[in-house]
Amino acid sequence: MAMTETVDKTEWQVGDAEERRVILSAEDITVRFGTQTVLDGLDLDVYAGEVLGFIGPSGSGKSVLLRTVLGLNRKQGGTISLFGQNIEELDEDERTAIDMAMGVLFQHGALFSSLNVLENIQVPMREYLDLPKKLMNELAMLKIEMVGLPPEAAWKFPDELSGGMVKRAALARALSLDPAIVFLDEPTSGLDPIGAADFDELVRQLSDTLGLTVYMVTHDLDSLFSVCDRIAVLGDKKVRVAGTIEDMLVCEDPWVQSYFNGKRARQIKR
């Protein structure tokens, strides 16, 4: 596959439970800023078609890992493979193909403030594809509909949207090219519980219908319980435990214990 220019993303969209193919693998990742080591020998595998929830104490390096995977941070050691290819050994075309097969929802949306929602969603399409204008509008409207925004929102500018709408619009942009994997950085933070539950539902639905792999950094216990297939816990500069929610509940690790058996978690578990 490294020979072809395109990532056959549909191949990666159908999550086959038995096969459990690794879509993203991080091996022995080390990231240092100056003298401060943030990640030290971290290993993580994300399987195609799953929703992975990524948790950890504030300041433990969740965002750093996400940025490292996306290539926005330098790492001092280790390898990252996306779709079975080491991202450092790719030439520009192969790298572009990989970029096209992934979508990112930044924590604060990062919508382009001078473009309206429709144009924001069309940015990746314009950049990579040669689509007729009419079809591009239709596809952008499709994404708007899929993420649950009202059609009129298409003409609004980011500063005219509420917090929840910004997140939805940013998700629509992340889904613009029908990626095989999306990275969500705290997608439900700042949303009201109903909005957050809707968003969780949406992520689950997209994952089920599109076979989408979701890598979700979150602090939201509801999200972890309701949508995540698997949870990875970051601590001590590496992934401390990874497993299903049941694994978490019986885990011996003290931080995981207090996280999942704390007062707030107990109310959700009921």
Partner 1 sequence: MASEDDNAESIAKGEAAGVQEHRSEDGRELSLTGNWTTRSIAAIDGWMRELASTAPERIVLDFASIANIDTAGAFVIRRTVEELRQAGKSVEFRNISHSEEVLLDAVADAASQSMPEKPSSGFGLLTPFAVIGRSVFAMAEQMKYAFGILGSAIAGSSGHGISLTAIVAQIHRIGVGAIPVVLLMNAIIGAIVAQQGAFQLRYFGAEIFVVDLVSVLVLRETGALITAIMIAGRSGSAITAEIGSMKMREEVDALKVIGLNPIGVLVFPRLVALMIALPLLTVAANAAGLAGAMVIANYYSDISYTAFITRMGGWIDVTTVFAGLVKTPFMALAIGVIASMEGMRVGGSAESLGARVTASVVKAIFVVIVLDGLFAIFFASIGF
Residue of 132, 133, 267, 270 interacting with partner 1 (CB under 8 A): 132
By CB under 8 A, tell whether 249 contacts partner 1.
no
Segment interacting with partner 1 (CB under 8 A) among 30-38, 87-95, 144-152, 259-267: 144-152
For residues 6-65, which are near partner 1 according to CB under 8 A? 6, 8-11, 13-14
Draw the binding track, 168-187, toward partner 1 (x: CB under 8 A; -: no contact): -------x-xx---------
By CB atoms closer than 10 A (0-12, 13-18, 19+), residue 146 is middle
What DSSP state is assigned to residue 145? H
Cβ contact 182:213 at 8 Å: yes
Residue closest to 15 by CA, chosen among 59, 46, 53, 61:
46
The count of chain residues that interact with partner 1, using the rule CB under 8 A, is 42
- Are 108 and 131 a contacting pair, CB within 8 Å? no
Nearer to partner 1, 66 or 147 (CB): 147
> Is residue 64 within 8 Å of residue 38, measured between CB atoms?
yes
158 lies in the binding site for partner 1 (CB under 8 A): yes
Q: Which residues from 188-227 bind partner 1, rule CB under 8 A?
A: 205, 208-211
- How far is residue 22's CA from residue 82's CA, in Å, rounded to a whole number? 8
Residue 93 binds partner 1 (CB under 8 A): no
| Range in contact with partner 1 (rule: CB under 8 A) among 20-28, 50-58, 77-85, 121-129 | 121-129
Token couple for 81: 């493979």
* Cβ(68)–Cβ(39) below 8 Å: yes
If binding is defined by CB under 8 A, does position 162 make contact with partner 1?
no
| Cβ proximity to partner 1, 11 vs 93, nearer residue | 11
Q: Distance (Å, rounded) from C-alpha 80 to C-alpha 68?
A: 9
**Site for partner 1 (CB under 8 A): which residue of 113, 162, 258, 261?**
113
Contact by Cβ (8 Å): 203, 214: yes
Which residues pair with residue 88 across a beta bridge? Answer: none
Identify the residue among 131, 197, 241, 249 touching partner 1 (CB under 8 A): 131
Give the list of residues 6+ apart from residue 49 with CB closer than 8 angstroms, or none: 13, 14, 15, 16, 17, 207, 211, 212, 213
Planar angle of CA 7, 170, 110, nearest 5 degrees: 105
Query: Which residue number, 7 or 80, has a Cβ lying nearer to partner 1?
Result: 7
Rule CB under 8 A: is residue 139 a binding residue for partner 1?
Answer: yes
Residue 78 CB, nearest distance to partner 1 (Å)?
A: 31
Minimum distance, C-beta of residue 59 to partner 1, in the bound complex (Å): 22
- Amino acid in the structure at residue 201: E
**Three-class SS state of 241:** strand
Smallest distance from the beta carbon of 134 to partner 1, in angstroms? 8
Binding site for partner 1 (CB under 8 A): 6, 8-11, 13-14, 100, 113-114, 125, 128-132, 135, 137-139, 141-146, 151-152, 154-155, 157-160, 175, 177-178, 205, 208-211
